[in-house]
Each structure stands twice: as C-alpha cells, then as structure tokens.
Amino acid sequence: MQDSYPSQLLEDAVQAFSKLPGIGKKTALRLVLHLLRQTDSDVEEFSTALLRLKKEVHYCTCCHNISDTEKCAICSDPRRDASTICVVENVKEVMAVEATRQFNGLYHVLGGLIAPMDGIGPSELEIQSLVERVAAGGIQEVILALAATSEGDATSFFIFRRLQPYPVKLSVIARGIAVGDELEYADEVTLGRSILNRTPFKN
C-alpha cells in the first residue's frame, strides 16, 4: 500500500509506532486507529506512563536492574542470600528466573551481551561493576545465566576470564533437553551436551 496519509498528525503517530521493533507501517496504523477510538484520558494515561517511566525510572546501584528506588527490592531484601550472584542479560531474564522460585540469591544485570557486530563491547555492559562486586568480597558463587547463543557464550567466557583471579565459584546454568521434549527432535549439540553433563539419577 502506498503511504498517502490523509493527516500529518496521523502520519506522525504512525511513524512513531513503526519505529518500535517488529512493528511495521500497517500494524502501526492499526494501533494508532485503536488509540484514536479510546477516550482522551486513556490516551493521556498511555502517554504519561511512558514519559514517567523514561524520566523517573532508576537502575539499582547494586545489581543495575530497573527499580523504583536507589536499591532494588531484591538487593535490599535481608532474606536473600547475598553470597550468590546470578548474572543475567536484562530485566526480562530477572523476571524469568524469579518466576521459577528456584533462586534465592541476588542478581547482576549486564544490560546486554557482547556483540561486536552491533558495536557492543564489554565496556558498554555492567561487567566492571560485577568484577568490583566480587572483588569487594563476601561472594561465594557467581552463576552465569546468559543465552545459549554465540553472544551469550562469548560474554560468559569474557566474564569467566575477568573473575578467574578471585576466590569465587563460577558456574553456568545447565544446557540440555528441555523438560517435556522428545529426544528425537533435539539438535545434536544439545543432546551431546546433555549426555556429557549427565547428573546422578534421583528418585
């Protein structure tokens, strides 16, 4: 469809939406027309929620996760095990690990993965602050919970090298067959690693 918007205001709003990842011109127009059908206060609420988030959001001074306060709720919770740090890419992964209810330590949010092709080097990420946290002492284990991609692996390896000098246990989350998956559909690398990293049978 050729783009001949009947209104500049409409075109501006469509342009704004279509800058978002995964949203093309047609979807953007559909979203904007939906918002147009909402009440004035609905649209104002939408717009205010974004502006407030951008202007008032904090990043925890300890783990660098998004937070409403200087120190996030997890870092300031005395019931959590402050000697274990789980290193993750972003806030999404913090939420994913929290949802498992299997981890009671603290986090360290890198803010991305090393990706030289996208111009993201170690200094763009919260790696130095992780090293300082470990160097300050009191940490027994650092769990690397990054994506099983080449960027994730490269970042894990870089962090491993930086933390090696310190007396801290370094571990990586298990790679293997997902719970519920059939063996025949697993790729060879995953299946191979799941055999190499087999664990004692527990009943």
Binding footprint of a copy of itself on the chain (CB under 8 A): 1-10, 12-13, 15-17, 19-23, 27, 29-36, 40, 43-58, 65-68, 72-74, 90-92, 94-96, 98-99
Comparison of 50 and 195: residue with beta carbon closer to a copy of itself: 50
The CB-of-160 to a copy of itself minimum distance in angstroms stands at 26
- 179 by Cβ neighbours in 10 Å (0-12 / 13-18 / 19+) ranks as exposed
Comparison of 2 and 203: residue with beta carbon closer to a copy of itself: 2
Comparison of 64 and 163: residue with beta carbon closer to a copy of itself: 64
The CB-of-57 to a copy of itself minimum distance in angstroms stands at 5
Comparison of 31 and 154: residue with beta carbon closer to a copy of itself: 31
The CB-of-189 to a copy of itself minimum distance in angstroms stands at 26
The CB-of-68 to a copy of itself minimum distance in angstroms stands at 5
First-to-last C-alpha distance (Å) of the chain: 61
Q: For residue 64, is it left (φ>0), alpha (ψ between -120 and 50) or beta?
A: left
Choose among 155, 168, 146: nearest CA to 125: 155
The CB-of-153 to a copy of itself minimum distance in angstroms stands at 23
Comparison of 33 and 189: residue with beta carbon closer to a copy of itself: 33
Report d(CA 13, CA 200) in Å as an integer.
57
